[in-house]
């Protein structure tokens, strides 16, 4: 599953202000709402669902990456976005490192396969060191969009 | 106690497949062991057992066969510990991950 199939380009953020987990999740979900991908009335409910999922174990999966996610009945297909935090966010990650790169995913309740395929793509692309490093260094949403496009077009050799 | 690789094939019975919590549980078990573990569904993509990011790259749905390879002094024990992780995760004791 390519990034273009689930990442909402208008919701990409290149410089998160939040320095803690809840703040980062709120900021990214807000971006999806502002991009029109989730309804305003569902926003708080989605934030709470993602935070509840984090209580089961952090999605800060190491190497400065987090994949906060939830299932939610208000979406009818997988949606997601990318956010970069230059100062780093305390996310209770497995390796204790701050998170600089977020992939936030919201899935319909009945499509677990799409969620796995999105994680597969994120994972395999991040295995390419240059892609991961360039994303973390990106200064604008446009730079991030270009990097995702290049990854989709196999320009990082994955 | 040999360095000969031990292999085991497990079937993913978690209804979602290898999702994030499964991957985290695998990495935590491997981190605690003294063996090196690799996992794959397709031999062309092998994940390092300590790397959650790589394990998620397996994208293994429910019903898929995952091949485990362990090398090290506690290879047999780590394979024994890993095997149940691929069963239905919701029916197991929730495991809140920790740092380190």
**pLDDT at residue A157, rounded to an integer:** 67
| pLDDT above 70 (res A20) | yes
Domain of residue B80, CATH code: 3.30.1340.10
Say if B6 is an interface residue toward chain A (CB within 8 Å): no
Residue ranges per structural domain of chain A: 3-152
| pLDDT above 80 (res A36) | yes
């800060």: which residue's tokens?
Answer: A60
**pLDDT at residue A67, rounded to an integer:** 96
Q: How many domains does chain B have?
A: 1
Residue B19 placed within a domain: yes
**pLDDT at residue A127, rounded to an integer:** 87
Residue B96 placed within a domain: no
A-interface mutation test, from B25, B58, B59, B60, most A Cβ less than 10 A away: B59
Domain span including residue B22: 6-91
A-interface mutation test, from B29, B42, B54, B97, most A Cβ less than 10 A away: B97
| pLDDT above 90 (res A27) | yes
CATH topology of domain A3-152: Mannitol-specific EII; Chain A (3.40.930)
Burial profile A92-110: b = 16 or more Cβ within 10 angstroms, e = fewer: bbbeebebbbbbbbbbbee
Q: How far apart are the first and last CA of chain A?
A: 13
Q: How far is B25 from chain A (nearest CA, A)?
A: 10
Region A24-28: what's the mean pLDDT? 98
Considering only CB atoms, B99 lies closest to which of A69, A92, A113, namely A92
Say if B77 is an interface residue toward chain A (CB within 8 Å): no
Residue B99 placed within a domain: no
**pLDDT at residue B37, rounded to an integer:** 98
Intervals of chain B under pLDDT 50: 1, 93, 95-100
Residue B1 placed within a domain: no
Q: How far is A84 from chain B (nearest CA, A)?
A: 17
Residue B67 placed within a domain: yes
- Using one digit for the tens of pLDDT, what is the confidence trace for A38-70? 999 999 999 999 999 999 999 999 989 999 999
Region A83-110: what's the mean pLDDT? 95
Size of interface A-B (CB pairs under 8 A): 80
Q: Are A100 and A62 in contact (CB under 8 A)?
A: no
On average, the pLDDT of chain A sits at 94
**pLDDT at residue B92, rounded to an integer:** 65
């Amino acid at each position: 599953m390519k990034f273009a199939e689930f990442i909402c380009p208008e919701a990409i953020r290149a410089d998160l202000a939040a320095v803690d987990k809840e703040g980062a999740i709120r900021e990214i979900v807000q971006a999806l709402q502002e991009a029109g991908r989730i309804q305003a009335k569902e926003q708080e409910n989605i934030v709470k669902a993602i935070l509840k999922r984090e209580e089961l174990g952090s999605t800060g999966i190491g190497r400065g990456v987090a994949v906060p996610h939830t299932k939610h009945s208000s979406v009818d297909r997988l949606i997601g976005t990318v956010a970069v935090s230059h100062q780093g966010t305390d996310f209770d990650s497995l390796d204790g490192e701050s998170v600089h790169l977020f992939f936030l995913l919201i899935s319909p309740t009945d499509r677990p396969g799409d969620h796995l395929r999105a994680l597969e793509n994120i994972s395999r692309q991040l295995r390419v060191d240059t892609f991961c490093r360039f994303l973390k260094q990106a200064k604008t949403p446009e730079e991030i969009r270009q990097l995702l496009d290049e990854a989709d077009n196999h320009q990082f050799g994955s | 106690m040999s360095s000969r690789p031990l292999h085991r094939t497990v079937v993913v019975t978690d209804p979602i497949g290898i999702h994030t919590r499964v991957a985290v549980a695998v990495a935590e078990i491997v981190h605690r062991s003294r063996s090196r573990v690799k996992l794959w569904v397709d031999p062309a993509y092998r994940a390092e057992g300590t790397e959650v990011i790589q394990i998620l790259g397996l994208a293994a749905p429910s019903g898929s066969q995952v091949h485990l390879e362990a090398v090290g002094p506690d290879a047999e024990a780590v394979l024994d510990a890993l095997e149940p992780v691929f069963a239905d995760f919701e029916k197991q004791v929730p495991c809140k991950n920790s740092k380190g």
